[in-house]
Chain A
């Protein structure tokens, strides 16, 4: 975090008294302090005291009545969450589709392709030469070359 931000925070916190910062920083610090005060003020609400009374006793009673979830129950609860379940299903379907309809398989499995050439040397001897190469594209042209 840069020094200006730290300075602004320190001014808002009141931990940086003394010399005023540069006008631009002072302006930002003032605005931030105002925001902080407004938020604090807005969230200062009276608590429902009468409803907080005996909360401990109620919590203990409920906790004893409701035993903690077992590992299996927690697992089931997780999978029952619709968003999680739908996302997982969608993910699996996308993987299946990609595997079947996109050339993923061919890209992943580059087969060694075999071919051969036959030629005649200058003294007329025929030469047969097998070649092995790696297939780099999944498509073949009309001659069967890839």
Chain B
């Protein structure tokens, strides 16, 4: 019997991958628990639909489960995970736009904000602004949208985004600059009133 070190929440990604490749299924459970929140947030940011986001993340993890035995660890695990989820999410959005089953830019659920409970006008304004922000981000070219979401939603560093998208840090910075510039133009009328 092979004696393996037990995996736990603090085990590094690299060690988890090695453990999984050695036959330790528990390592995969730790990977899923470590990344499910971040990946769901990312998928949700792209598809704006809870059901689709959860499906995307599950499908991505299944793909990763089957692909992990061949994963060579030349790049970080999370960059691969982000790539898989982002690609799948964008595919889903594209498919929906093509089949026109339902509008992709449907108004999102409102953010619960107890402090504004008695101010329906302000809440309505905030929801409207949010809808416009989503629409503006969705209108960005794919490469720019990816960078914005990975940066603003996930808070990844330029290096992490570059690794995830397979491009240079300079390219990431350039795309982010242009994306923000474009968003600034799109959201100009709302910027003045927004708080």
Contacts and interface: CB of A to CB of B under 8 A. Distances in A.
Interface of A: 1, 5-6, 8-9, 12, 31-32, 34-36, 38-40, 42-48, 51-52, 55-60, 62-63, 66, 68
Given A31-B191, A56-B33, A59-B32, A9 B177 contact: yes
Given A9-B173, A45-B108, 11 more contacts: A5-B173, A32-B181, A36-B152, A38-B129, A43-B45, A43-B152, A45-B41, A47-B41, A52-B37, A56-B36, A63-B66
B187 interface: yes
Interface of B: 25, 28-29, 32-33, 36-37, 40-41, 44-45, 50, 54, 57-58, 61-62, 65-66, 108-109, 111-112, 129-130, 133-134, 137, 148-149, 151-153, 170, 173-174, 176-177, 180-181, 183-184, 187, 191, 194
A45 to B, nearest CB: 6
Contacts of B44: 45, 47
B129 A1 contact: no
Overall SS of chain A's interface: helix
A9 B137 CA distance: 18
Nearest to A10: B173
Interface of B, helix, strand, loop or mixed by DSSP: helix
Given A48-B54, A52-B37, A68-B66, A57 B184 contact: no
B184 A31 contact: yes
Greatest chain B CB density within 10 A among A12, A31, A45, A68 is at A45
Contacts, number: 105
A13 to B, nearest CB: 9
A59 B50 CA distance: 17
A56 B181 CA distance: 39
Contact of A1 (B50, B151, B173, B184): B173
B170 to A, nearest CB: 5
Which of B109, B152, B183, B191 counts the most chain A CB atoms within 10 A? B152
A66 B184 CA distance: 45
A57 B40 contact: no
A88 B164 CA distance: 30
A1 B187 contact: no
Closest 8 CB pairs of A and B: A56-B32, A68-B66, A63-B65, A56-B29, A42-B133, A59-B61, A39-B152, A43-B153
A68 B111 CA distance: 39
A58 B149 CA distance: 27
A39 to B, nearest CB: 4
Contacts of A66: 62
Nearest to A62: B62
A8 B177 contact: yes
Contact of A39 (B65, B66, B111, B137): B137
